[in-house]
Every structure is written in structure tokens, then in C-alpha cells.
Amino acid sequence: MNLHTKTWVQRLPVPIDVAWDFFSQPGNLARITPPEMMLKAEGGNAGTAIYEGMKLNFVLYPFMMIPVRWTTEIMKVSKPDFFEDRQLSGPYEQWYHRHLFRDIEGGTEMTDIVEYALPFDLFGEVVEALIVGPRLDEVFEYRRCRVAEILGEMASETR
């Protein structure tokens, strides 16, 4: 199993508490996910702010209209600095996502760090290189654009 790491940074012209409030609401995830993925939350947590131990259940269609059930758990929360989640069940062998928030001049720097691994050894690595890695970049680019539409964007944004 090879562990892959991807990092995305976005600078937002809002105070850290505003950024935190947006990203700590699970219901906002569907707003910043590509619509063709048809992300749907299951259960009643969409309107609840995250907390340690919270479990979130989703159904999405990440590739070729094949439905995938995904359950994540919020592992750590330190408002307004970071929260971390991990996949309990879903398409990855391993998935760990850190959401970091930092006060900067004129707003907030938000960093997403995802560590993931796919099953199926060599075949999984081919799928990662050809499909999963590029698709994750597409999803986070869509997310960056949607967040910029919702919260604004700083001119000196790092990508």
C-alpha cells in the first residue's frame, strides 16, 4: 500500500471564524462538491457543527455513475485552527484529511492536506495515477472556485 499526499492552499478574505463556521458545517460539503458527483448526506448531521467522534455518511458518484457509500469520522477538532477526519468505510484503503485554518493579513489561509491509499496494490497504483489523483485535483479545484464564489478570494492566492 502506497500512501499519497496532496495539499491545496486557499486564501480567503474573511476572518478565521467565518471560514471555520463555513467549513465546520457538514451541510456545506455538497455546496462545494462538483454537482455531477451528486453528493448526498445520509442521516441528520448536515445542520450540526462538527465535533470529535461525529460520524458522517454520504452517497456519491465519483466515477462513471457508480454509487459509493462513504462514512467518515471527525477525529480531532481545535476551533478555529483545524479539524481532521478519516474514512471509516468507503473507496479508499486509507483516507485522512486535515483542514487547517490560519489568520493572515486580510483574511484566512485554509489548507487541505489529504493522505490516501488505494486497495489492490499495483492495480491501485495505476488507477491512482490515471484516474484518482487527477480526479482529486479536479474536485479540489472545483471546491476552490466555489469557495471563492461564496466567501471571496484574495488576489495573492496560492494554488
Q: What is the 3-state secondary structure (H, E, C) of 57-70?
A: EEEEEEECCEEEEE
pLDDT digits (tens, 9 = 90+) for 50-84: 999 999 999 999 777 889 999 999 999 999 999 99
Q: Which residues pair with 7 in a beta bridge?
A: 113
Query: Are 152 and 128 in contact, with CB atoms under 8 Å apart?
Result: no
Q: Where are the domains of the chain?
A: 4-151
Query: Among the CATH numbers 2.40.128.130, 3.40.50.300, 3.30.530.20, 3.40.50.2300, which is that of 4-151?
Result: 3.30.530.20
**Structure confidence by residue, pLDDT tens digits, 27-51:** 999 999 999 999 998 876 667 899 9
Confidence check: pLDDT of 122 > 70? yes
pTM: 0.91
pLDDT digits (tens, 9 = 90+) for 78-104: 999 999 999 999 999 999 999 999 999
pLDDT(140) > 80: yes
pLDDT of res. 45: 67
DSSP code string of the chain: ---EEEEEEEEESS-HHHHHHHHT-GGGTGGGS-GGG--EEESS-TTS---TT-EEEEEEEEETTEEEEEEEEEEEEETTTEEEEEEEESS-SEEEEEEEEEEETTEEEEEEEEEEE-SSHHHHHHHIIIIIHHHHHHHHHHHHHHHHHHH---TT---
Assigned C-alpha cell, 99: 483542514
